[in-house]
Amino acid sequence: MTDRQEQIWIDDARRGDQEAFAQLVHLYEKRVYALTLRMCKNPADAEEAAQEAFLAAWQGLAFFRGESSFSTWLYRLASNACVDLLRREGRHRSAAGPSLNDEEAAVDVADDAPSPHALAERAELRQQIEEGLSALPEEYRQVLILREMHQQTYDEIAEILSLDLGTVKSRINRGRKRLRKILLESWNFSATPASKQAEKEGCK
């Protein structure tokens, strides 16, 4: 599959060719579903949101003019579909987890903690990350998934989520710190008074 082939499918689908659109669905279903699964947090909602995203893409192809990549545009539709679904079901806030004002500040990393780096070899880390993502506020989960799983740039994430660049930077920064903290805590790490002192001082 080349970019050229994808462009041909997009052009054909825009002209109403359902077969071409089916090729695009096959090409992107995994990526879109991977996104909605983490954003909606349950498979049934994720499938519905992914389906809505593709239907919206079919309906709105005339509005896609290639100024962003097709994937970026599609992720935006998927993100919107998730938000709509959660809002419709009244679960938007409850799924968001703790307040954004709840800074990760208090506890950080101790020198001798088993860091995620050290745990990278372990198969459990992936599972821990999945669980950590679920525990993150939605705003942080979105940006991290788009960044780490879909390799989107900050500009692309801003476009997908209709945020300004500064907000994207801030959310990635906070989201990553919070995820790191969750990972460390999930390995039964608790900061000692000495390490807390070290945190306060930081490095010089």
Partner 1 sequence: MRYCDDYAALLDLYVDGELSPEEMSHVQDHLDRCPGCRAYVDDALAIRAAFPDVEETEVPAGFAEGVMARIQTDAIPQKKPTPWRKVLPTLAACCALVILLRSVPGMFSGSKAEAPAMAAPAMTTESASDEKSEAVFEEPATIMDRQIAADSSDAVTEVAEAPAECAAPQEAEKAAGGPYAYTDLSGTVYTSILTLPPEGAELMAAYAPVSESGTEVQYELTPEEAQALLVQLETATFSYQSEDGIDPTTDMILVVLSK
Stretches 2-10, 50-58, 95-103, 134-142: which one binds partner 1 (CB under 8 A)? 50-58
CA 109 to chain centre: 24
Q: Which is nearer to partner 1, 116 or 137 (CB)?
A: 116
CB of 191 to partner 1, least distance (A): 10
d(CA 52, CA 77) in angstroms, rounded, equals 8
**b/e 73-83 (16+ beta carbons within 10 angstroms → b):** bbbbbbbbbbb
d(CA 138, CA 108) in angstroms, rounded, equals 21
Query: Is residue 41 within the footprint of partner 1 (CB under 8 A)?
Result: no
Stretches 1-9, 87-95, 134-142, 171-179: which one binds partner 1 (CB under 8 A)? 171-179
Q: Which is nearer to partner 1, 8 or 119 (CB)?
A: 119
State the helix-helix crossing angle for 70-88 and 43-60, rounded to 10 degrees. 130
- What CA–CA distances, in Å, run from 50 to 28, 57, 74, 147, 180? 10, 11, 10, 19, 29
| Given 60, 87, 89, 134, the residue binding partner 1 (CB under 8 A) | 60
Task: Spell out the residues 6+ positions from residue 146 whose beta carbon is closer than 8 angstroms to its own.
Answer: 35, 75, 152, 156, 157, 160, 161
Q: Residue type at 78?
A: A
Stretches 4-12, 74-82, 86-94, 95-103: which one binds partner 1 (CB under 8 A)? 74-82
CB of 84 to partner 1, least distance (A): 9
The residues in 103-162 that bind partner 1, with binding defined as CB under 8 A, are 108-109, 111, 115-120, 125-126, 129-130, 133, 147-150, 153-154, 159
Query: Is residue 194 within the footprint of partner 1 (CB under 8 A)?
Result: no
Query: Is residue 164 within the footprint of partner 1 (CB under 8 A)?
Result: no
Six token digits for residue 102:
């709840």
Of 148, 132, 37, 41, the C-alpha closest to 92 is 41
Q: Which residues bind partner 1 (CB under 8 A)?
A: 14, 16, 18, 21-22, 25-26, 29-31, 33-34, 37-38, 43, 47, 50-51, 54-56, 58-65, 67-68, 73, 76-77, 80, 108-109, 111, 115-120, 125-126, 129-130, 133, 147-150, 153-154, 159, 169, 172-173, 176, 179-180, 183, 198-204
